[in-house]
Chains A and B, each alone.
Chain A
Amino acid sequence: MSDATPLNVLVLVKYVPDAQFDRRLDPGTHRVERTDSILSELDEYAVEAALQLVEAHGGVKAGHRVTVLTMGPDGAGSAIKKTLQMGATEGVHLCDDALAGSDAAATSLALAAAVRHLGGFDLILTGMASTDAETSLVPSQLAERLGLPQLTLVSEIALEGREVTARRDGDTRTQRLRAPLPALVSVTDQFDEPRYPNFKGIIGAKKKKTHTLTLAELGLSAEEVGATGSWTEVVSSAARPARTAGTVITDQGDAGARLADFLADQKLL
């Protein structure tokens, strides 16, 4: 990448209920209750990858941009704020009541429209999965809708001129991928640990802009998204009984034998 052509990177992030607390499905709508929400931890890897790519080519000083886009409720601004503190240059918040209850198809429809509306991106980075619904569907659906090559579930990424290369690790194999820009990349948690916002980042973020987008600006109607625009629906949900603690013993030198006893009792040997 020559430093004369600044890189325009978009990172997609989701605002999700914090998994450290009890998460609940609303018994009526079967949607995740909006409590104590945060930037999805797995999306921090995508932000980190974007920042590293830009830094490897002269950083924001060289004119490169890292825009962060989220589609989510009012509070989702806090997820954007964290990415701005990490070093992203600007934020976009797609926020519209009609979007609530969108499935992956409707989410990818709205995000694709936002990407087209904003325009001009060389790279779109996403996380490997959200930490709430965890379907991993959105990145591939976006790539299909936008007609972009996808380099998904990757742990390394680099630019070579106007091409992006990446390493994809599956269960049974490792692959090396290459595609021309523009392209869509999903980053796994095998990428480098995301940075913490430092003092300078926190102060600097206050001057950065977040722009709000509505459905109307994207030329989408309320019927095309949300529950009506979705192609899937949840018809019932039930909490599983929580696991409870069983017997706990302290090793007195014979715990290995007692484990064998337990397994024999449970007919597991």
Chain B
Amino acid sequence: MSTTLVYLDSPSLAQGSEPGKADRELLAIAASRGDVVVAVPAELPEAATAALGAYGATAVVVPDAPLEDQLVAPHAAFVAAAAQDAGADLVLLSNTGEGREIAARAGIRLSAGVVTDVVAVGPDKTFTKSVLAGAYTAESRATTGIAVATVKPNSVEPAERGSGTAGLRAISVPQAGPAARIESTEEKPLSGRPSLDDARIVVAGGRGVEGDFAAVEQLADVLGAAVAASRAATDAGWIEHSYQVGQTGKTVSPQLYIAAGISGAVQHKAGMQTAQTIVAINSDPDAPIFEIADFGIVGDLGEILPQAAAEIQRRRA
């Protein structure tokens, strides 16, 4: 039996909600190898501890005093201390910007190898990741006793609710060293649509939408899809940067990705070419996006998207 430390830091947990889908994926990976110790960097209501137990945690660890309002260093010190306290040989975090930063520093503190962008964890801690913008699949391992891995969402089936229970334990966190102070935090408004990370369908718009995302949003809503964008569209300020897909945005692998008015630059493809099915709508028959599209339409997105939305709605009525 091996022990896995799972680091979870979602505000909803601290408010007593159930763990989210990505969190439950980490719990499922951990449960497949043995004991699951969950580390949460904040005080937890009883309901949250109970929910974590039900989803497979054998123990929940929190810091015995609130962490400083500082960027990642205290969190990394906490994760490293929790891993040692639990005797874990694997530490799992989510593959977000912050998750990777905490993993990076915890790796140094634990003298442990860190592997990012993981989509599968095999027996003997072999990590599968997709590299070079999706062109290769690689298997990596840590050569150290403890391994740290950051796991992408939508990688495994999330843990299901069971009848387990978990005990709560507070540990002391060692001095983290100098860190930047967080002076203010502003939450971004939620769109009400599925999040890009775990959407089954994504409808994306690029420079070709010419400033108006209404047609993209309309088709997305009919399909229950998330909205995404190319960097040309986010740079133009037509849509918030967090919707950007690509090398410096999100990497998504949905069942269906519809790219409208997007040319298909390598940096954009890096974020979406592992989608199961790709549809491209572009007025230029030579647009490179057609080279990777399962279904391509040469035409004006301003005509095609609304027609498709209306047609899908009509068929469902």
A-side interface residues toward B, CB under 8 Å?
19-20, 22-23, 25, 30, 32, 42, 103-105, 108, 128-129, 131-141, 143-145, 147-153, 165-166, 168-180, 183, 188-190, 230-240, 243-251, 253-260, 262-264, 266, 268-269
**Inside 8 A of B188's CB, which chain A residues have their CB?**
171-174
Known: A230-B143, A240-B136. A268 touches B277 (CB 8 A): yes
User: In this complex, what residue of B is CB-closest to A103?
Assistant: B113
Are A144 and B96 within 8 A (Cβ)?
Answer: no
Are A245 and B114 within 8 A (Cβ)?
Answer: no
A182 to B186, CA, bound (A): 26
Which residues of B in the span 280-317 have a Cβ within 8 Å of any Cβ on A?
A: 281, 285, 290-300, 303-312, 315-316
Please pick, from A129, A244, A259, the residue contacting B308 in the complex, using a CB distance under 8 A: A259
Are B142 and A232 within 8 A (Cβ)?
Answer: yes
Number of A-B residue pairs having CB atoms within 8 Å of each other in the complex: 277
B-side interface residues toward A, CB under 8 Å?
70-73, 76, 96-98, 100-105, 107-109, 111-117, 126, 130-144, 177-188, 201, 223, 241-242, 247-248, 250, 255-256, 266-267, 270, 273, 277-279, 281, 285, 290-300, 303-312, 315-316
Are B266 and A19 within 8 A (Cβ)?
Answer: yes
Complex A-B: 9 CB contacts under 8 Å: A135-B117, A140-B105, A151-B71, A174-B186, A237-B131, A246-B293, A256-B305, A257-B308, A263-B312
How near does chain A come to B269, taking the closest CB pair, in angstroms?
9
How near does chain A come to B304, taking the closest CB pair, in angstroms?
5
Are A249 and B297 within 8 A (Cβ)?
Answer: yes
Are A266 and B277 within 8 A (Cβ)?
Answer: yes
**Inside 8 A of B112's CB, which chain A residues have their CB?**
231
Are B143 and A233 within 8 A (Cβ)?
Answer: yes
Please pick, from B103, B134, B242, the residue contacting A240 in the complex, using a CB distance under 8 A: B134
Are A32 and B299 within 8 A (Cβ)?
Answer: no
**Inside 8 A of B144's CB, which chain A residues have their CB?**
231
How near does chain B come to A39, taking the closest CB pair, in angstroms?
16
How near does chain A come to B107, taking the closest CB pair, in angstroms?
7
User: In this complex, what residue of B is CB-closest to A21?
Assistant: B266
**Inside 8 A of A232's CB, which chain B residues have their CB?**
113-115, 140-143
How near does chain B come to A137, taking the closest CB pair, in angstroms?
4
How near does chain B come to A50, taking the closest CB pair, in angstroms?
18
A8 to B85, CA, bound (A): 41
A258 to B295, CA, bound (A): 10
How near does chain B come to A186, taking the closest CB pair, in angstroms?
9
Are A175 and B182 within 8 A (Cβ)?
Answer: yes
Please pick, from A144, A170, A258, the residue contacting B105 in the complex, using a CB distance under 8 A: A144
A246 to B278, CA, bound (A): 9
User: In this complex, what residue of A is CB-closest to B248?
Assistant: A189
Are A23 and B108 within 8 A (Cβ)?
Answer: no
A143 to B133, CA, bound (A): 27
How near does chain B come to A172, taking the closest CB pair, in angstroms?
6
Known: A150-B72, A188-B248. A245 touches B311 (CB 8 A): no
User: In this complex, what residue of B is CB-closest to A184?
Assistant: B180
- Which residue of A153, A171, A183, A234 has the most chain B CB atoms within 10 A of its CB atom? A171
User: In this complex, what residue of B is CB-closest to A137?
Assistant: B104
**Inside 8 A of B281's CB, which chain A residues have their CB?**
255, 259
User: In this complex, what residue of A is CB-closest to B142?
Assistant: A232
User: In this complex, what residue of A is CB-closest to B310?
Assistant: A256
User: In this complex, what residue of B is CB-closest to A104?
Assistant: B114
How near does chain B come to A190, taking the closest CB pair, in angstroms?
6
Are B101 and A136 within 8 A (Cβ)?
Answer: yes
User: In this complex, what residue of B is CB-closest to A148?
Assistant: B178
A264 to B315, CA, bound (A): 10
Are A174 and B277 within 8 A (Cβ)?
Answer: no
